[in-house]
């Protein structure tokens, strides 16, 4: 690596808190909490942290950093700037705004959230979030090496807070809902289904998520059931004419739990 380029590790302490290396990481004098200036102790301790990659690697073995779920809280950033410059940039990007003015903390240290966000942001907004970062790499849920904003150049100048349009905000909520469904389907299936780890199944979950939202299907347990059966049938459920008739009937009667009887077999 060029001497003028340095590598840092961004980690999400909320994800790594059950790791055997959590205390060593958060007590390391070289580690910087990006929420360190906030009054909440929990926000400070369990928020995003930044430290030199060499220091992180000395604390956390590679087999731990690559394992699920720890990998979701670890990404590697290379930049020509120093630690203080990178900290200042990431602190400036801690919140994201909706078109209506609502603001939310941006969990960019959670790589699942980062991957979702990249599907929503424009190239200009991606450049805002990258700032001085030349490469922002991580291992995704499907064991693939990913780079956030790979096609977008870095921008060392100060960046303003990202503001999402109404359409972007709606799309972000849809993708976050699909992620929640994928995790819950896996948990409720006892591991028989793993849409949060298998790319093909995850795509089916996303289609199912959009379907239940468009149809107005609720509550969550019914939404989860529809998503699970969608995965079990390889996506065929959502084009099954008999099932679609049951959906129409349930929508008219408001008896969505009738869909729980549908097993797709």
Lowest pLDDT segment from 58-67, 89-98, 106-115: 58-67
Instruction: Please tell me the distance from the alpha carbon of residue 254 to that of residue 217, in angstroms, as a whole number.
Output: 9
What is the per-residue pLDDT across 133-178, written as a single tens digit (0 to 9) for each? 999 999 999 999 999 999 999 888 777 899 999 999 999 999 999 9
**Torsion sign over Cα 138, 139, 140, 146:** positive
CA distances to 81, 109, 119, 172 from 100, in Å: 34, 25, 21, 15
Residue that wins the pLDDT comparison between 259 and 41: 259
Looking at residues 69-87, what average pLDDT do you find? 94
Tell me the pLDDT band of 84, cut-offs 50, 70 and 90. Answer: very high
- Does this model's pTM top 0.85? yes
Per-residue pLDDT band for 183 (boundaries 50, 70, 90) equals very high
Least confident of 30-34, 65-69, 135-139, 146-150: 65-69
How far is residue 190's CA from residue 181's CA, in Å, rounded to a whole number?
A: 14
Instruction: Give 185-222 pLDDT, tens digit per residue.
Output: 999 998 899 998 999 999 999 999 999 999 999 999 99
If DSSP states are collapsed to H, E and C, what string results for the chain?
Answer: CCCCCEEEEEEEHHHHCCCCCHHHHHCCCCCEECCCCCCCHHHHHHCEEEEEHHHHHHHCCHHHHCCCCHHHHEEEEEECCCHHHHHHHHHHCCEEECCCCCEEECCCCCHHHHHHHHCCCCHHHHHHHHCCEEEEEEECCCCCEEECCCCCCCCCCCCCCEECCHHHHHHHHHHHHHHHHHHHHHHHCCCCCCCCCCHHHHHHHHHHHHHHHHHCCCCHHHHHHHHHHHHHCCCHHHHCHHHHHHHHHHHHHCCHHHHHHCCCC
Look over the chain and give the mean of its residue pLDDT values, rounded to a whole number.
Answer: 93
* pLDDT of 73: 96
φ, ψ (nearest 5 deg) of residue 228: -65, -45
Cis peptide before 219 (omega within 30 of 0): yes
Predicted local distance difference test score (pLDDT) of residue 265: 52
């Amino acid at each position: 690596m060029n001497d003028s380029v340095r590598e840092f590790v961004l980690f999400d302490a909320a994800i790594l808190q059950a790791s055997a290396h959590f205390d060593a990481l958060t007590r390391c004098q070289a580690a910087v909490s990006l929420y360190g200036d906030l009054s909440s102790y929990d926000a400070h301790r369990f928020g995003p942290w930044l430290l030199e990659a060499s220091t992180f690697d000395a604390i956390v073995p590679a087999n731990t950093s690559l394992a699920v779920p720890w990998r979701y809280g670890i990404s590697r950033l290379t930049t020509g700037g120093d630690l203080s410059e990178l900290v200042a940039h990431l602190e400036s990007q801690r919140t994201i705004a909706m078109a209506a003015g609502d603001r939310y903390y941006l969990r960019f240290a959670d790589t699942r959230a980062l991957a979702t966000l990249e599907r929503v942001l424009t190239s200009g907004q991606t450049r805002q979030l990258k700032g001085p970062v030349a490469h922002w790499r991580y291992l995704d849920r499907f064991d693939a090496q990913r780079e956030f904003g790979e096609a977008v150049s870095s921008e060392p100048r100060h960046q303003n807070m990202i503001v999402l349009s109404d359409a972007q905000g709606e799309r972000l909520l849809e993708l976050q809902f699909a992620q929640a469904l994928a995790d819950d389907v896996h948990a409720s299936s006892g591991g028989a289904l793993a849409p949060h780890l298998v790319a093909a199944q995850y795509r089916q979950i996303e289609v199912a998520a959009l379907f239940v939202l468009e149809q107005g299907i609720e509550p969550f347990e019914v939404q989860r059931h529809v998503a699970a059966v969608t995965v079990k049938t390889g996506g065929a459920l959502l084009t099954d004419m008999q099932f679609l008739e049951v959906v129409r009937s349930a929508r008219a009667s408001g008896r969505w739990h009738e869909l729980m009887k549908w097993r797709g077999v």
